[in-house]
Amino acid sequence: MSAAAPLLQAAALCPRRSDGAALQHPLSIDVKAGETVCLVGPNGGGKTAYLRALAAVDKPAAGTLTLLGKDSSRLNTDAWRALRLRAAYVLEGAPLLSVVNGLINVTLPAMYHRLGSATQVAAAAQELLKFLDYPGRQDLLPAYLNQHERLLLAIARCLMLSPELMFLDEPFHMTDNACREREAAVFRRLTRDKGLAVLIATHNLGFVRRHADKIVFLHPQWVGSFDGWKPFSASTQAEVRDFLDTDQR
C-alpha cells in the first residue's frame, strides 16, 4: 500500500446500534495515515455505532468498508483478530483487565501475540509509557488509578501491537481540563510522530476545533463530513448550526 493510499475507506456505511436497529444515514469517508478524524454530534446521533462500524468491530447494516486494504465483509474470525493488531480500538472508559496491574495490562497483549521476549516486551512498554508521559504508578491495579492514567495505559497496550489506525470512543470522558490537554497532546504525537490515523468519537469540541483534520457530524436527522473545523463551523446545515449554537450557549 502506498503512503498516500487511504488506510480506511467507507462507502455509504450504515451501522447498527447495540439493539440491532440500523441507522438510516449513510457515511462515506477516506482516512489517511497521520490524520485526526473526529466524530461529533449530539447524544443519540450514533457516534459509537459509526465508530464501531468504521473500525470493523460491528458488521454494518449496509455499505462497504475497506480497512487496511481488506474488505471487512470478507474477514473470517482469524483475519478479524489479525486485523485488530493493526486497527486498535479503545472502548469508552478505557477498561483495563482489573485483575492485573498497570504494567502487565500494557505488556499482556504483546506477550499473548509473542511479539518478543519478556525483557524486550517490558523494555518496549517502558519506552511507550515514557512516550505517553504516563504519570501514574505501574504496579497498581487499574481500580487504584485515575481515568487519565487508565486511558494512557489502554493506549499504551494498543501501541505495543504497532497499529496503523487507532479508534477511541470518548477518550476525554471523566477527565479534567488539564488532563484533556495532556491527552490532546498525546493524540497529536500519535499522528505526528508515529504516523497513526486516529479516529475519535468525542464531545470535546475544543480538541476538535484545534486538531481535527476531518470532522464527521452525526445527528439523528443528518450525517455529513467536513475537512476540518473551518468548513464545519461555517456550515449552514440546520442540524450543525443548532449543535454548535447549543454548545456555545
Partner 1 sequence: MAEARAARGSLIGWLGRGLIDLGLYIVDLTVFVLRAFRDWARRGRVFNRATLQNIYGQVIFTGLDALPLIIFLGLAVGLSITSQLLKLGQTIGGEQDVGALLVNIVGNELSSLLTAIVLIGRSGSAIAVDLGGMNLRGEVEGLELLGINVNEFFVTPRIIGAAISQFVLAVFFAGIALFGGVFIMTVLGIEGASLHQLKRMAEGVDPQVIAVFALKNVLFGVIIAGTACYHGFRARVSPTELPQQTQRAIVMSLVLVFAADGLLAVVS
Question: In angstroms, what is the minimal distance from the CB of 156 to partner 1?
Answer: 12
Nearer to partner 1, 29 or 158 (CB): 158
Question: In angstroms, what is the minimal distance from the CB of 240 to partner 1?
Answer: 31
CB 169 within 8 A of CB 92: yes
Which chain residues interact with partner 1 by CB under 8 A? 57, 81-85, 88-99, 108-109, 111-114, 118, 154, 157-158, 161
Alpha helices in 7-146 (DSSP H): 47-54, 77-86, 102-112, 118-131
Q: At what angle do helices 147-159 and 118-131 cross, to 10 degrees?
A: 130
Nearer to partner 1, 84 or 214 (CB): 84
CB 49 within 8 A of CB 81: no
Cα separations (Å) of 183 from 89, 96, 150, 209? Answer: 16, 17, 12, 15
Residues with Cβ within 8 Å of 66's Cβ and at least 6 positions away in sequence, in order, are 6, 8, 9, 10, 72
Q: Measure the CA–CA gap between 12 and 26, rounded to whole angstroms.
A: 4
Q: Measure the CA–CA gap between 13 and 242, rounded to whole angstroms.
A: 25
Question: In angstroms, what is the minimal distance from the CB of 136 to partner 1?
Answer: 18
Which one, of 100, 167, 170, 166, lies nearest residue 138 by Cα? 100
Nearer to partner 1, 88 or 129 (CB): 88
Question: In angstroms, what is the minimal distance from the CB of 84 to partner 1?
Answer: 4
Nearer to partner 1, 16 or 219 (CB): 16
Nearer to partner 1, 34 or 93 (CB): 93
Question: In angstroms, what is the minimal distance from the CB of 223 to partner 1?
Answer: 24
Nearer to partner 1, 121 or 212 (CB): 121
The 3-state DSSP class for residue 103 equals helix
Question: In angstroms, what is the minimal distance from the CB of 97 to partner 1?
Answer: 5
CB 216 within 8 A of CB 29: yes
Question: In angstroms, what is the minimal distance from the CB of 187 to partner 1?
Answer: 18
What count of other Cβ atoms lies within 10 Å of the Cβ of residue 114? 8
Cα separations (Å) of 4 from 1, 8, 11, 35? Answer: 8, 12, 18, 11
Nearer to partner 1, 11 or 97 (CB): 97
